[in-house]
Amino acid sequence: MEHSQTNTAAVPHDEHGFSTKAVWRTFWILLIITVVELALAILYYETDFLPKHFLNGIFIIGTLAKAFFIIAEFMHLRHEIKNMIMTVGIPAMLFIWFLTAFLWDGNSYKNLRNAYDRNHLEQSKIPAKEPQAKKPGAVE
Amino acid sequence: MAQSITAGQKWWAGGKSPFNVEYGKLMMWYFLMSDAFTFGAFLISYGTIRFSSNSWPNPNEVFRTFPFIGEMKIPLAFVSLMTFILIMSSVTMVLAVGAGHNNDRKGVMKWMFFTILGGLAFLSCQAWEWTHLHSEGAWWGRNPFMNIDGSQSSTNFTNFFFTITGFHGFHVFSGVIINIIMLIMTWRGDFDRKGHYLMIEKAGLYWHFVDLVCFYLL
């Protein structure tokens, strides 16, 4: 019994059963989130009906939700043991710091540079010299 | 693997697998973690550069074309289609894993086939997108697109786009190859002889991960 786990890997673990119904339910959730996001993007493109930052927030939440459903259901993590979930989940929390710190830093760099390097600010406002002459359709 | 822990037993007292997953699967999870951080590093460096720039090209304008239809009024329609293809192939991958649970060889082969098809469809879409952008003059070091406020854009935009989508495309490509190998092994009956389809599960994990990363690319 003590050393049994090393060579019983051949036994499929059936304590977390597999259900096709759950897979399709997850699929519909993912599809609905994607369609809603796309609809919002199109609406924004046509009408500017919402502030952009608010919309970006919705997209971020939608994407996180999709990530959660894929990891939890498709990759089956939700049905693993709690220790296993934490060993994957807790390091992933580093991304929170990763994102805030670096985006904040980029933004602060931009502000500092604009404040102390007027030349850079002026240069970055000059319109492009050749407005897509030989690439029709690239940008209106 | 099927170890049930009775009350009073401790997970970490030795003699049992504390995570209750087999070795290969656990290692696949750890590999995916490290891969997630690699992709994360790419995306964060992109984000940092984006946030430190005064202006940036408008992705809705750049990625507005659709194969065979040409210009579309719908922004990012093609990208959404590509994401949808990957979601679909993720679903078929889960179904293949599920069929593997039931030791259903025919089912595994059918769903693996559709998964590979989805992966190839995604890769073709990406090839088209790259070709199209390249014909517009975009490549590493070349950026034909203006910033959204009409000012001259640096090459950061195209550099990041081609690097990150290229890295992701390479992952999808490897995933397709792995899935093809899995399909051949299933067809030869290797997993029937082993008595389990856990390899399929590991390939499946990889596949979902690749799919997941795709969401963040745009």
**ipTM of the assembly?**
0.70
Q: Are residues A54 and A107 in the same domain?
A: no
Q: Please report the residues numbered 140 through 199 in chain B whose beta carbons come closer than 8 angstroms to any beta carbon of chain A.
A: 144-147, 149-153, 194-198
Distance from CA of B199 to the nearest CA of A (A): 11
The pLDDT, as a whole number, for residue A2 is 39
Q: What is the pLDDT of residues B126-139, one digit of tens each?
A: 888 888 888 888 88
Residue A118 lies in a domain: yes
My answer on whether A67 and A100 are in the same domain is no
Mutate to test the interface with B, among A36, A96, A102 (most CBs of B within 10 A): A102
Confirm whether A30 is domain-assigned: yes
B170 closest CA partner among B136, B214, B132:
B214
Per-residue pLDDT reduced to its tens digit, B43-71: 888 888 888 888 877 766 666 656 555 55
Question: What is the residue range of A106's domain?
Answer: 93-123
What's the total number of domains in chain A? 2
End-of-domain residue from the set A49, A80, A111: A80
Residues 84-113 of A with CB under 8 A from B: 84, 87-88, 91-92, 94-95, 98-99, 102-103, 105-107, 109-110, 113
Domain contains A46:
yes
Q: How confident is the model at residue A18 (pLDDT cuts 50, 70, 90)?
A: low
Mean pLDDT is lowest, of A5-14, A42-51, A58-67, for A5-14
Say yes or no for a CB contact (<8 Å) between A135 and B137.
Answer: yes
Maximum average pLDDT range among B10-19, B22-31, B75-84: B22-31
Q: How many CB pairs below 8 A link A and B?
A: 191
> Is A66 inside a domain boundary?
yes
Tell whether A69 and A106 lie within a shared domain: no
- A21 and A75, same structural domain? yes
Task: Give the global pTM.
Answer: 0.77
Q: Give, in degrees to the nearest 5, the angle at Cα A66 between A74 and B160.
A: 110
> What average pLDDT is seen over chain B?
75
| A106 and A54 belong to one structural domain | no
Residue range B122-127: mean pLDDT, rounded: 86
Among A58, A80, A102, the domain-final residue is: A80
Domains, chain B, with CATH or none: 23-216 (1.20.120.80)
In a domain, A6, yes or no: no
